[in-house]
Amino acid sequence: MFCQKCGTAVAGTLTACPSCNTPLAALATGAGTTAVADTVKAASRDALGAFKQLAGNPVGALPAAYAALGDAKALRAGVAFGVVSLFSFLLGGYLLLPDFFKEDLFEVLGFGGVMKCLLFGAMPFLCTAAGSLGVRKALGGRGALGADTFIAGAALLAPSLCMLLAGMLGAGNFEVIGILAVFAGCTAVLTLFSGYTRIAQLTERAATLAVPLVVILGAWLAKVVATSVLSGPGGSSNSPFTF
């Protein structure tokens, strides 16, 4: 271990830096912070490398991208894709709201409502990853958690980008948004099928069953959370978000 304050090497048996007397607890905290920062940087780097491979061929390049990363790095990249999808869904949804909805939005939602919105944004990734794990186990597939996470994150890249573009275009361009949504949805389904057959090694028959199961599960849970968000804080029917 090295002192984060002066750079002196510190033996594990010492309680403080021999040069500047910084307590060992402070050094451990600094080392932990550095480790977290390094992990985030590594995950971002892995995700960017995988994204470059998937950008031109999101379906066909999926197995090669996973193989290049390995399961541990694929897990980090998948989580990074999930974070991107979360913020893309939330930002795109916010931009699509009418202007009068945006006024005092956070005051209307309250802390509980904001947490529900975060859960709603994370639901597609969480459900797809959990569903991928479930169908792999149930249908006799191969692989590990890194594969499930990577497949889920990669499958959501197109829909999350579509949601972000929809927010930027505005609800008035509904025809363009509809076309983008069709392309994004089809790409997501094909990516899941590719991941299940070529990474998880499910049979085509099993993957044909697995894909709609995972999609339906995600859509149903998203509807449950969305209903909870739209009902307003505490489920009040007086919320302006109730339709």
Q: Do 113 and 7 lie in a common domain?
A: no
Q: At what angle do helices 204-230 and 174-198 cross, to 10 degrees?
A: 140
CB 129 within 8 A of CB 78: yes
Query: How far apart, in whole angstroms, are the C-alpha atoms of residue 115 and residue 112?
Result: 5
- Asked whether the beta carbons of 30 and 163 are under 8 A apart, the reply is no
In a domain, 201, yes or no: yes
Residue 139 lies in a domain: yes
Residues 115 and 222 in one domain: yes
Q: Where is pLDDT greater, at 175 or 3? A: 175
**CB distance 70 to 50 below 8 Å:** no
**Model pLDDT, residue 231:** 65
Is residue 19 located within the same domain as residue 138? Answer: no
Q: Identify whether 241 is part of a domain.
A: no
Q: How many domains does the chain have?
A: 2
Q: What is the extent of the structural domain holding 219? A: 57-235
Residues 70 and 186 in one domain: yes
The answer on 84 and 7 residing in a single domain is: no
Do 106 and 183 lie in one domain? The reply is: yes
The helix, strand and coil proportions of the chain, stated in percent and rounded to the nearest 5, come to 75, 0, 20
Q: What is the pLDDT of residue 208?
A: 95
pTM assigned to the model: 0.78
Find the mean pLDDT for residues 119-146: 91
Check: CB of residue 214 under 8 Å from CB of residue 177.
no
pLDDT of residue 42 exceeding 90, the answer is no
Average pLDDT, the chain: 84
Flag whether 155 is in a domain: yes
Six token digits for residue 197? 């057959």
* Alpha helices, DSSP H, located in 97-173: 99-102, 105-138, 145-155, 157-169
Q: For residue 47, tell me if it sits in a domain.
A: no
Task: Give pLDDT, residue 30.
Answer: 53
Q: Cα(40)–Cα(44) distance, rounded to whole angstroms?
A: 6
- Pair 75, 146: CB distance under 8 Å: yes
Is residue 15, in this structure, part of any structural domain at all? yes
In contact, 46 and 80? CB cutoff 8 Å: yes
